[in-house]
Amino acid sequence: MNKYVGNPKQLFEARQYIMSDGKAAGVRAIDVWNGAGLFFTVLADRCLDLYTVRYKNKNMSFLTPTGVVAPAYYNDRGPGWLRSFFGGFLTTCGLQNIGVGDDSDETTPMHGRISSTPAENLCVKLSPEEDAVEISGIMREAVLFGARLKLERTIRCRAGIDAIELEDVITNTGYERAPISMLYHFNIGYPMLSEAAEIVIPAEKTIPRDEHAKEGLDEWDKVLPPQPGWVEMCYYHTLSENTFGIDNPEIGARLRISFESDGLLDRLVQWRQLGEGDYVTGLEPASCTLDGRADAVANGSQKYIDAGSSYKNRFRITFSEL
């Protein structure tokens, strides 16, 4: 307890509200200020994903032109996912597909449905005793006569510590083994991302996704200024340790993301997108390749979850000065 204050919100805060404008109308959101250098927004109706993240008043996230889009506008056909992809600091992809979708198979839309799923049992806890904020909720991906998957997410932040902890437990609540695919789409934008930035990935092995990415293989870690007509490149990294991030001496900021996984996340996807207005680097722990479930099955990267079983993924996202 702090005898200097009668309300802990003087020192750190979690504020809940409902957005009211445009396609964001009705979306539940939580702003968290940690009393030090960190401010971030959690979207409860978008899988408890992280929207805006600011460190020392500098933006860390990539925000797309769509802005926040309510789940009612989600479109699972073709590239319709892109019309509700807000970017943000984290968009969760899965639970039954990541990457390319297949319109002939309703279980495998582009990047899956989970990012447009609202949280149930939402709990926002401000604990003065622990000087901490804890946000939790449950997202379900279920269909009659099909897979029944549950994602339980908990986000924690301590007062005065510039770090976000995120824990996911994914459970198969059905009675049959089911395919599972996940990708954590961490998106770094300007000014954290600029030509002054340094990508930090401890890669033991790097494989380009396609022939176009192969053309830039020798400079996968190079950050360029915005380029006209840029076409995205993706790389699969095998990590020597599960910590990666970005440094930017120009703004004096360092980001590191560390993770643990129960065998589900076994590669880091790097999304290299340096176009004018679409300027982002995605650093994305993933469970399989990105060219559809059939391709993932064929190359052996597709994962499965047994009935009644769970996977647990834990992340610690830290910000510091250089």
Give the start-to-end residue ranges of the domains of the chain: 8-321
- Tokens 């004018």 belong to 276
pLDDT for position 200: 98
CATH for the 8-321 domain, from 2.70.98.10, 1.10.150.120, 3.30.1360.20, 2.160.20.10 = 2.70.98.10
pLDDT for position 314: 98
Per-residue pLDDT at 1 exceeds 80 = no
CA distances from 291 to 64, 134, 208, 265, 295 (A): 23, 36, 13, 17, 6
Confidence band, pLDDT 50/70/90 cuts, at residue 103: confident
The proportion of the chain whose per-residue pLDDT surpasses 90, expressed as a percent, equals 93
pLDDT for position 3: 87
Rounded CA-CA distance 275/230 in Å is 5
Per-residue pLDDT at 242 exceeds 90 = yes
Query: For strand 233-239 and strand 267-274, is the pairing parallel, antiparallel, or unpaired?
Result: antiparallel
- Tokens 């000014």 belong to 191
Q: Are 62 and 280 in contact (CB under 8 A)?
A: yes
Average pLDDT over residues 17-40: 98
Per-residue pLDDT at 209 exceeds 90 = yes
Predicted TM-score (pTM) of the model is 0.97
Per-residue pLDDT at 117 exceeds 70 = yes
Residues, the chain, total?
A: 322
Q: Which of 49-58, 99-108, 183-192 has the lowest mean pLDDT?
A: 99-108
Confidence band, pLDDT 50/70/90 cuts, at residue 107: confident
**β-sheet bridge partners, residue 166:** 155, 315
Give the mean pLDDT of the chain.
96
pLDDT for position 266: 97
Cβ neighbours for 179, distance < 8 A, ≥ 6 positions apart? 96, 107, 147, 293, 302, 303, 304, 305
Rounded CA-CA distance 97/78 in Å is 13
Q: Please write the tens of the pLDDT for every residue from 47-90.
A: 999 999 999 999 999 999 999 999 999 999 999 999 999 999 99
Query: For strand 120-127 and strand 132-142, is the pairing parallel, antiparallel, or unpaired?
Result: antiparallel
Q: Which of 40-54, 121-135, 215-229 has the lowest mean pLDDT?
A: 121-135
pLDDT for position 178: 97
